[in-house]
Structure 1
Amino acid sequence: MTATAPHFGPAPSTPAARRPLAAAALLAALVGMVFGLLLGGAGPASAHAALTGSDPQDGAVVATAPKEVTLTFSEQVALGDDSIRILDPNGKRADTAAAPRDLQSGSTVKYGVSLHSGLPDGTYTVAWQAVSADSHPVSGAFTFSVGAPSKTAVVLPAEEAGGGLVGTLYGIARYAAYAGFVLLAGGSAFVLACWQRGAGARPLQRLVVRGWMTLTVATLAMLLLRSPYTGSGKLADVFDLDGLKAVLDTKPGAALVSRLLLLGASALFIAVLFGTYPRREDEREKRDLTFGLAIGGTVIAAGIAGTWALAEHASTGIQPGIAMPVDVLHLLAVAAWLGGLTALLVALYRTPDLDAAAVRRFSGIALGSVIVLAATGIYQSWRQVGTWSALTGTGYGQLLLVKVGLVAVLIGIAWMSRRWTARLIAGGGGAEPDTEAESGDGTGGSEPEAESGTGDGEKPRAAASGKSEAPSGAPAPSGAPAEGPARAAQLARQQAAVATAEKKRIRDADPDRSGLRRSVLAEVGVAVVLLAVTTVLTSTEPARTEEEARASTAAAAPAAQGPVSLKLPFDTGGANGKGTVRMEITPARTGANELHLWVDGAGGEAMDVPEVKVAFTLESKDIGPLPVVPTRLTEGHWTADGVQIPMAGDWKVAVTVRTSDIDQTTIDKNMKIG
């Protein structure tokens, strides 16, 4: 992400004006090159849990009911007592309803659920719901059959975990939390680092305070919505105290509580920044207070950013020890850039006394934020995407491309802002020298403006009508009460408001300044959309994990191709005992299959034999032999329908051929099925 802040100052020469564009082009080229190298050399990783395997597998048909069902995940998950349910064909619980057993071994994340004994044949449904290590709920379902597939009365919820009204409200709260943090941290940084006189400007005070309130309310809402969001999905469970207590014991719950505590500290920071700080007149004291506020504000902002890094994508997958600090830097850079840009927009519209030095300082901060965002964004993309196919073939990758497109739009608007700035400077615009009224209390005229109702640049009624108030030292008219200190102060504020309104009127008449304000407003508008896309991106399954889940599903899914054929020569030892059995199984996958056998004599002609039997054995899993007795269809042709293959593997197929009452033989050969 990048942006070029308006830059008041001496008009640049033509080479100097082109220099930032050349630098931006070089930076874009370097970013593209590094991005390509990282994606090209990416290795395996995961974040956002996915089901990578199960026993029995999805769609498998087993001869007898298993004692337990196991599920394997790509990463650590949090499971409740009722997170894995096994339902029989009638929709009743087939498991013992006990808490899932942790069967983890090394890096394998596996959980098991025990089943009741004596389960009848039919199709069973496994429904599961968990919370991945990056705090997002995940869910799914699959089926397996005992004996043979059957109809099932199980109806699963249409919505996935984290969906519905609760999911929508939680998503809104997430967006509000990001926006509040951007305004709180970025607005405060703009005041401290760029325009310290702005600490007395009420529009900037309101901006930062509203950011704090938004972040606080959004965090409380997320804390209350967390239990139904990851559990029942019912809005009424917001008031479930047991659910809230369970949330507080989780990593996301602890992160939200920590954020609330840090927001308490930030309230004190805001009180000092906009209360004590503007009233400091001694330069040394103000310098010391600036340093203290800068250190304290940075620590608080980094701590709040860390509550996201601690509980979301950065905390899981590869290199979490590096990813979490990088994520904190990324969030701080976003806040410094977008929050500072918003504060600049407010200053341009609501505080006409913004000086050139403040905008120049913000330009430097914006450039630093761009560099940090480029570096951290490349690293995050490598962790979560990994390959070019994942960039274009997954929802996460496509959202990332939309985000890149929005950044490109921002670059274009920023270039327009720079042109307006150059025209404004060439036309003699920019900040005017400080007037006596402006420097009297350090407010930049904003406080009188707010009190007199001239925030939109309109002149007070007295000024508009051509009348002016009497000076504070003039005698009161005959019959009027004598003026006191309060009246004198009121007249002084009104006079300052008139001066401020007149100054705003003159500046608003400048088309170059108006053009600059519109372009900065457009930047902020695109930034709002960009922040929304980023919020959705942080709750979307990373591209790496999605591709891993696809690969696991493809490996475990029954093969759709077929048939598979075998040729088995035999010799029963009697007269006319030599021949060949040709066997074909279709579609050669787990579940029901169709079997055809052709028995040919030594000369290749159809050979009629009294009996043929077949048995399947999967020695690697100690399954079988599973007998199959085909039916004679015509001379030399035998068939069997509904041959059940419980799981994929390298099966040993044994064929017994009897050519007379005493002459028979059994031949076998391995066949890959599924």
Structure 2
Amino acid sequence: MNLPAVTYEPVCVRTRSAVLGLLLALLAVPLVPAAPASAHAVLLATTPVRDAVLGSPPSEVVVTFSEPVSPVPGRVQVLGPDGRRVHTGAPSVRGTTMRIPLRVPERPLGTYLVSYRVISADSHPVAGSFTYSAGAPSVSPPRAVDDADPQPAGALVPAAKYAGYLGLVLVVGPTLLAATLWPRRRSRRGVAGTAYAGLALVVAATAATWVGQAADSVGAPVGDLTGADLAAVGDSDVGVVLAVRLAVTAVAATLLPAVVAGRAGRWRRVTLALVGVAGLATWPLAGHPVASPLPPVSVAAAVVHLAAMSLWLGGLLTLVAFLLRGTHERVLARILPAWSRWATLAVGWLVATGVGQAALELGRPGALLGTGYGRLLLGKAALLAVVLAVAAGQRRLVRRGTAAARPRVVARAAGVELVATAVVLALTAVLVQTPPGRTADAEAARAAREGVAQTLTTSLYTLQFDVYPVTLGAPNSLHAYVYTPGGEALPVAEWTVSLALPEAGVEPVTVPVATPEPNHGSAEVRFPVAGRWRIRFTVRVGELDQATVTATVPVG
């Protein structure tokens, strides 16, 4: 997850109406219709391959995704040519691969439909379907029984995430300032109420996320959910994380009163800090970081990023709402420099973790302009440039010791800073619901895979292979599966795969093959020039039993 990486410099405003305006802006953003969230796990390969025609029905269907998934109970099915279910038992999942066991129907020839709904590692629902045929395609292929809305929760989940971030802002910053920099003669009632409101908002947002997750999981509108649907979320990885968040919030509520009142001892303050870190960790554990190429690094960076954002923005709201107006100038002259040092430290961590997270989630430089995720990041960067320019002027005032004495100047700057920050936070809520740039290649691979999936048959075996994304000069993935003529998986003793381009005089080049499964061979292939490449498979299935099949892959 990428949260706003911004720079703070102390500000003051003319009246508390600026604060109310900011809070209204923050709360109103979720009312804007949100774009549907796309699934973040991408379908990479299927066995049988999409639209394949087999000699006989297979004994199982294998579906491979770009990241680990969990099947939604009752939402993975295979329909036979007569429209009846042919899957037997629940699908099994190991890592990114889902296997669906099948039975042979009474009338096995015709088209089969595979439909699925799973939850990806970063909590997003993934739904889809494909067909294959045994013997010959049916005149009227079967239809899925369930044609539910792919995004039944609508804007509930992104709105809940936004509300959760706002709750953290209202808890972290006010609590820190109340415990460390609060003037003795100023009332703590307002800052305490702000922190409690933040805790309540976190609880409400977590509950809404739970409901939205249930709706997305079963593919039903929120109004049609049953108690069993809601309870089922508790058995998922996301449900466990949300339950931990609620428990941590309850513990924080018992520690908060004494800390905000300035009466807590060191052990209570340290305990609250540790509880807070545990609570912050529940956000990346239910989002993009847990499915990134480096999950531990991404989760740790996201926790620091989220903590720094909450400290900065929450502290800013606290200063504006409760301290800058009515506090003596000499007191402010002591508070503002200390807060400025803290905020500067937070800014450093925000920038460092934000850049690191962006690099991991984009995957490649081209994704910055070529994906929706990257363009959202550019929008955030443009707004942050405005905030940084304003903050530079504020920093000069702080260094000169004139910030507390020039409220009108910093008030105008504060308005720009607060409005820009509100929009940045809104973009963040959308960003965490957007497929990361690193999944764009997999999405393109899925789109480009049509036309390069083929089934080749010999008297010894049936071979199905899939090459994607068939890109010139770039690495492409090759997956091949071998079956008996009856459709059962056939272990391979030895693979030999070669590529050639006869029309350009390119002689056969042997490709190294890995064997993740007994009947499954995979390899990375490159096509340096355009043309009709010939791919040749020699498969040995016994001591003396082997056969060769050849296919053509158009490239460029």
Q: Is this a same-fold pair by TM over 0.5?
A: yes
Q: What is residue 306 of structure 2 aligned with on the other side? A: 331
Q: How does 1:278-427 map to 2 (within 5 A)?
A: 289=264, 291-347=266-322, 351-353=326-328, 355-418=332-395, 425=402
Alignment partner of 1:148 out of 126, 137, 144: 137
Computing the radius of gyration from Cα coordinates, the structure with the larger value is 1
Alignment partner of 1:558 out of 446, 451, 457: 451
Larger deviation, residues 58-67 vs 367-376: 58-67
> Relative CO higher for 1 or 2, CA cutoff 8 Å, sep ≥ 6?
2
Provide, for residues 153-177 of structure 1, a one-character-per-residue CA deviation record: whole Å limited to 9, x for no partner.
637877764x24x231122111101
TM-score for the superposition, normalised by structure 2: 0.70
Alpha-carbon offset, residue 221 of structure 1 = 2.3
Q: What is residue 528 of structure 2 aligned with on the other side? A: none
Distance in 1 separating the partners of 2:193 and 2:439 = 42
1:420–1:515 contact (8 Å) kept in structure 2: no
Q: What is residue 135 of structure 1 aligned with on the other side? A: 123
Whichever residue aligns with residue 150 of structure 1, its letter is V
Alpha-carbon offset, residue 302 of structure 1 = 0.4
Match status 1:179 vs 2:156: no
Alpha-carbon offset, residue 559 of structure 1 = 4.5
1:4–1:415 contact (8 Å) kept in structure 2: no
Distance in 2 separating the partners of 1:170 and 1:367 = 32
Alpha-carbon offset, residue 7 of structure 1 = 7.1
Alpha-carbon offset, residue 382 of structure 1 = 2.3
Whichever residue aligns with residue 7 of structure 2, its letter is A
Q: How does 1:148-547 map to 2 (within 5 A)?
A: 148=137, 150-152=139-141, 154=143, 161=150, 163-164=151-152, 166-195=153-182, 197=184, 200-238=187-225, 240-275=226-261, 277=262, 289=264, 291-347=266-322, 351-353=326-328, 355-418=332-395, 425=402, 429-430=404-405, 512-547=406-441
2:72–2:119 contact (8 Å) kept in structure 1: no
Structure 1 unaligned residues grouped into runs of 5+ = 9-46, 281-288, 431-511, 561-588, 591-617, 625-647, 653-667
Q: Cα 1:673–1:367, aligned 2, differ >3 Å: closer, same or farther?
A: closer
Provide, for residues 604-645 of structure 1, a one-character-per-residue CA deviation record: whole Å limited to 9, x for no partner.
xxxxxxxxxxxxxx9966679xxxxxxxxxxxxxxxxxxxxx
Q: Cα 1:361–1:120, aligned 2, differ >3 Å: closer, same or farther?
A: same
Alpha-carbon offset, residue 135 of structure 1 = 1.6
Alpha-carbon offset, residue 376 of structure 1 = 1.3
Match status 1:79 vs 2:71: yes
1:203–1:351 contact (8 Å) kept in structure 2: no
Q: What is residue 102 of structure 2 aligned with on the other side? A: 114
Q: Cα 1:540–1:84, aligned 2, differ >3 Å: closer, same or farther?
A: same
Greater helix fraction, Structure 1 or Structure 2: 1
Distance in 2 separating the partners of 1:108 and 1:155 = 23
Alpha-carbon offset, residue 179 of structure 1 = 0.9
TM-score for the superposition, normalised by structure 1: 0.59
Provide, for residues 414-448 of structure 1, a one-character-per-residue CA deviation record: whole Å limited to 9, x for no partner.
2354467689928xx53xxxxxxxxxxxxxxxxxx
1:85–1:93 contact (8 Å) kept in structure 2: no
Match status 1:94 vs 2:85: yes
Alpha-carbon offset, residue 317 of structure 1 = 3.3
1:70–1:112 contact (8 Å) kept in structure 2: yes
2:308–2:349 contact (8 Å) kept in structure 1: yes
Whichever residue aligns with residue 252 of structure 1, its letter is V
Distance in 2 separating the partners of 1:519 and 1:407 = 14
2:148–2:220 contact (8 Å) kept in structure 1: no
Equivalenced residue count is 441
Distance in 2 separating the partners of 1:419 and 1:158 = 60
Q: Cα 1:175–1:159, aligned 2, differ >3 Å: closer, same or farther?
A: farther
Alpha-carbon offset, residue 89 of structure 1 = 6.0
Distance in 1 separating the partners of 2:315 and 2:239 = 30
Whichever residue aligns with residue 299 of structure 2, its letter is M
Distance in 2 separating the partners of 1:411 and 1:527 = 11
Q: Cα 1:93–1:533, aligned 2, differ >3 Å: closer, same or farther?
A: farther
Whichever residue aligns with residue 529 of structure 1, its letter is V
Distance in 1 separating the partners of 2:185 and 2:130 = 60
2:280–2:303 contact (8 Å) kept in structure 1: yes
2:122–2:289 contact (8 Å) kept in structure 1: yes
Distance in 2 separating the partners of 1:71 and 1:649 = 26
Alpha-carbon offset, residue 372 of structure 1 = 0.7
Q: Cα 1:265–1:208, aligned 2, differ >3 Å: closer, same or farther?
A: same
Distance in 2 separating the partners of 1:540 and 1:75 = 16
Provide, for residues 127-174 of structure 1, a one-character-per-residue CA deviation record: whole Å limited to 9, x for no partner.
21111112221222223234136344637877764x24x231122111
Name the SS for the 1:672 alignment partner: strand
Alignment partner of 1:70 out of 41, 46, 62: 62
Name the SS for the 2:154 alignment partner: helix
Provide, for residues 392-430 of structure 1, a one-character-per-residue CA deviation record: whole Å limited to 9, x for no partner.
22222222222222221221232354467689928xx53
Provide, for residues 434-479 of structure 1, a one-character-per-residue CA deviation record: whole Å limited to 9, x for no partner.
xxxxxxxxxxxxxxxxxxxxxxxxxxxxxxxxxxxxxxxxxxxxxx
